[in-house]
Amino acid sequence: MARLLYRLGSTAFRRWPLFIAGWLVLIVAVGAIAASAAKPFSDEFTIPGIPSEKAADMQQELFPDAGSAFDDATVNVVVAAPEGSTLDEPEYADAIAGLIAAIPELPQMDPEAPQAGLADPTVAAEQLEKSFVKGAKAAGGDVAQARDNAAALSPLSKDGRIGTLSFEWDVESVGDLKPTSVEELKELLAETSDESGLTVEANGQGMAVFETPGGTAELIGLGIALLVLLLTFGSFMAAGLPLVNAIFGVGLSLAGVSAMTAFMDLNSSTTALSTMIGLAVGIDYTLFILARYRTELHHTDDRRHAAGIAVGTAGSAVVFAGLTVLIALAALSVVGIPFLTTMGLAAAATVLIAVLVALTLLPAILGMTKSKAFAGRFRRYNPKRDDHGRVLNNGVRWARVLAKAPVAWIVAVVVVLGAIAVPISQMYLAFPSDSTAPSETTERKAADLTEEAFGPGRQGPFVVVVDGRDIDDDDERTAAFNEVVAWASEQDEVANAQMVATNAPLGKDGAPTGPATGAIIQLTPTSGPDDPATLDLLDTLRDTEGDIEAATGTTVGVTGLTAITTDVSDQLNGALPVYLAVVIGLAFILLTLVFRSILIPLTATLGFLLSVLATLGATVAIFQEGWFGIFEGQPIVSFIPIFVIGVVFGLAMDYQVFLVTRMREAHVHGLSTHEAVVDGFRNSARVVTAAAAIMIAVFSGFVLEDDAIIKSMGFALALAIVFDAFVVRMVLIPSLIYVIGDKVWWLPKWLDRILPNVDVEGESLERDSVPVNVHAHDAKDDKDDKDDKDDKDREYAGA
């Protein structure tokens, strides 16, 4: 592999116009496809085959006009009078009337479309109760129960102080909603509140507008990355090269993600994930090759040869490091969860692009810039050297500190990371909701007002779908529907259960003209959608629905937004062991191939488990439990653990590959294991530290985003890099190698014979002499090579 990559790097250096033009043509082509064929993103966290999805399919069969729990762009506007007042007071009633008149005039609204929910809450509540009581009396039913049912659906609180209005945007799905439409709604609500003294807030699916992260996160991450690169290279030009490569790769990746929406549904968080990972690995991979290129300039006067050696050695490590990330992300497809599969594949494609850019675009740019690659120097690299002329830097000093007491360091790391992992036992997984949004948002304020007025269950009702098509007699079918209502009502933690719709055909006067074969029962829990008691209620309904089906001859299913997100969370938890087995198994094989050792991959995997457990424990403590007041306590987003495990495993193996390949390279060239560890730190510690700092900066920037998914993902990934790069790879792994000694490179002879030799260390390359084929270049290259023999350049390059 080293020779193949050497040829690729040296060819890209020499034929730089072709390579740069090729990349530019590619990004223009992909961008054109994205601009012409891209579709809106989707936030449907659904999984075919889960109970709630089956119930939703049954509902669609019985009620073809029923909308999707995720696609309905419904907005709930909550209006509250000051304490001691009611909404029916003239000044507040007039303000509500003005609001009702203004909403249909908003963008993406059809002024002619009827909006049943846009009515004065006081009037609507009175009409609802009259209708329910009248119906109960006509049917000889329970009037008191009718009043309770009316109260459960009422848009007005019992004290008359808080009410709700509802409407639906005139769009196909939430993905079609424009941010400007929601902003105008917010301005209208604020204006109404300021002028009337009412508190006016809004939430619901119709407020969940997807917006690409606005640039703040990326700019902060890139700014810190630039500072780290400047300190690493001491050159403005060299510091800019990794950023240029990473930004180009991310731009191409995002264009590709947009183009992919023409062929598949992608979650709105996909772009943020691709941006996070693309920037991080794009900068790091370029940094590793560029740092090796600078080192190789100390061994040869031919920059093309140096570029080939850098791509052949550090590039080999980049390839295998990228493969581990690709495995971790692409393996998300094996768990059978569509939205995770598409997010994982999109992120994997981003990593693949980052690898290809580092291997080809970087040497092409180096070929274009020639001796200007390290221009704009403001600091010279003059390291101290030992008696043998070897560099004596902080990496060497740290490796020698570890060598003095490796067992003590191992124990310290295990104890500290183990202690940080303890809160993981309290992890509570859920999907973000309005009730867990930041307290300053209108969504959270609306949720709090709704809970105050109607109880927590109003925000997360269950939809019980009843299929009576197997019952022939109309009267028996109606009785069966009522029995299901009674069954739902008698469950603990149920505030109200009532039949809200049947699929009986209606005449022009709205009266049924035929029998109903299906019914929808709305079940309001006594607890909120994120309360464990609500999840227990769902389990109880599922456990006993077989009994009511047998007793009535119906088919019953429970769906609704809360049921769907709960089922998705359960499916994610169940898929985690399978995912871990696939990722760790494939990566173990890959690392065995790279290091030709059994113990190196084993220690790498055990170190990863320590770092990821500590990451999840710290995330629970700080993000969920709200320790130190950094974040408001809220549940961990359900798919964060599986994504953190996948991404962190891939990135952790990056540092393992980059650090330990230099150790193995030194060992292959004759150094003892102890000396090889020191030499590995001499050549890689500084660059790995810089790469880790850049990744932490990039991920940390996303903590500033408003979206709960992006915020928690950025926090967890940044923390994971801290633990894995600086604690596990820089402390635990070298200490374990010291303790194990030369046996760490052990590989059974039978396995050694069958494993191909991929030559990641570049053993087959001659660094100190220029291969014959390198001299076969034109006169212009000869002149450039002569110009490149600048003493100051080489003094700087002498790493």
User: Residue 746 phi/psi, 5° resolution?
Assistant: -65, 135
- Give the CATH fold of the 389-438+567-747 domain: Multidrug efflux transporter AcrB transmembrane fold (1.20.1640)
Tokens 């994205």 label which residue?
Answer: 34
Tokens 């549940």 label which residue?
Answer: 635
Task: Quote the pLDDT of residue 44.
Answer: 61
Average pLDDT score over residue span 104-114:
89
Q: What are 302-321's pLDDT values in tens digits? A: 899 999 999 988 888 888 88
More reliable by pLDDT, 755 or 215: 755
Asked if 63 contacts 155 with a C-beta cutoff of 8 angstroms, the reply is: no
Identify which of 22-26, 381-385, 714-718 has the greatest average pLDDT: 22-26
Tell me what the pLDDT averaged over the chain comes to.
Answer: 85
pLDDT of residue 771 exceeding 60, the answer is no
User: pLDDT confidence of 383, banded at 50, 70, 90?
Assistant: low
Closest by CA position to 543, among listed 596, 492, 474, 616? 492
The neighbour count for residue 554, using CB atoms within 10 Å, is 23
**pTM of the entire predicted model:** 0.78
Average pLDDT score over residue span 566-589:
82
Q: What are 243-269's pLDDT values in tens digits? A: 999 999 999 988 988 887 777 777 666
Asked if 318 contacts 25 with a C-beta cutoff of 8 angstroms, the reply is: no
In the chain, domain spans: 389-438+567-747
At residue 138, the 3 state secondary structure works out as helix
More reliable by pLDDT, 619 or 65: 619
Burial (CB < 10 A; 0-12, 13-18, 19+), residue 683, is buried
More reliable by pLDDT, 1 or 581: 581
Q: What are 441-456's pLDDT values in tens digits? A: 899 999 999 999 999 9
Task: Quote the pLDDT of residue 488.
Answer: 95
pLDDT of residue 786 exceeding 60, the answer is no
Task: Quote the pLDDT of residue 219.
Answer: 77
Q: What are 48-61's pLDDT values in tens digits? A: 788 998 999 999 99
Q: What are 702-740's pLDDT values in tens digits? A: 787 777 777 888 889 899 999 999 999 999 999 999 999
- Side-chain-side CA neighbours of residue 112 (13 Å): 0
Q: What are 171-204's pLDDT values in tens digits? A: 887 777 888 999 999 999 999 999 999 999 999 8
- Which pair of structure tokens corresponds to residue 68? 């999707």
Task: Quote the pLDDT of residue 322.
Answer: 86
Task: Quote the pLDDT of residue 762.
Answer: 61
User: pLDDT confidence of 98, banded at 50, 70, 90?
Assistant: very high
- Which pair of structure tokens corresponds to residue 80? 């509250």
Task: Quote the pLDDT of residue 705.
Answer: 75
Q: Which residues contact 735 (CB under 8 A, 6 or more apart)?
A: 402, 406, 407, 409, 410, 413
More reliable by pLDDT, 275 or 153: 153
Task: Quote the pLDDT of residue 480.
Answer: 95
Closest by CA position to 383, among listed 396, 369, 393? 393
Asked if 427 contacts 498 with a C-beta cutoff of 8 angstroms, the reply is: no
